[in-house]
Amino acid sequence: MRRTISLIVLGVLLFLLPPLVAQGREMQIGVRVILASHQGKGVDASLQNIQRKLSNLFNYSSYRLLQEHSFLLAQDQTGQLPLTEKKELRVRLLQEQGGTVEIDVEILREGKGIFKTKAKLKKGGILLIGGPRHKEGVLILAISAQ
């Protein structure tokens, strides 16, 4: 009887252990900040791999990579990235499960939240957040789990 109970406890632990182990894992979240505008023409060389996707989705004539950043986040950790003088991006890792990360993304203007979203990203998936105004164009944030 004792052996039976031990086997059951072991089985339940085997089911519960992987998520518990995953909770302590750090995940890399990549952010590319792109300025899209009608000023000039062309795409930065560093954006060649998503040039076709950007051109298919939007009709801006110019795409310039302003900055590229990678956050290494553990669960419930937040990464911050200044986008412009007044705007800031905050990315918080909510959880990682089975190769899918759940994140909170927030854009703040002068410390005040103007946009917030919660999304799940698989490896290879890209979340594009576009529209925040900057100079003569708009910012497009390409967020991906790495």
Partner 1 sequence: MLGCDHFIPRLERYLDGELPSNERGSVERHLRSCPRCQKEMEDLCALQRLLREAVEKGVADVELQAVWEGVKKRLRASTVKRRAWWLVRDLFSPFRPIRTLVWGTALLVILLLTLPLVTSPPLPPVVVESVESEDPVMIFQGEEGIMIIWLFEAEDGKEGVR
Binding site for partner 1 (CB under 8 A): 1, 4-5, 8, 11-12, 15, 53, 56-57, 84-87, 100, 102, 107, 109, 113-122, 124-135, 138
Query: How far from 42 is each of 24, 34, 67, 137, CA to CA, in Å?
Result: 42, 13, 17, 14
Q: Which is nearer to partner 1, 12 or 72 (CB)?
A: 12
Q: How far is the CB of 16 from partner 1 (least distance, A)?
A: 9
CB of 91 closer than 8 Å to CB of 78: yes
Rounded to whole angstroms, the Cα distance separating 20 from 24 reads: 7
Task: Find the shortest distance in angstroms from Cβ 45 to partner 1.
Answer: 21
In whole angstroms, the minimum distance from the beta carbon of 25 to partner 1 comes to 19
44 vs 102, which CB is nearer to partner 1? 102
Tokens of 106: 């927030």
Closer by beta carbon to partner 1, 73 or else 145: 145
Burial of residue 11 (CB within 10 Å: 0-12, 13-18, 19+) is exposed
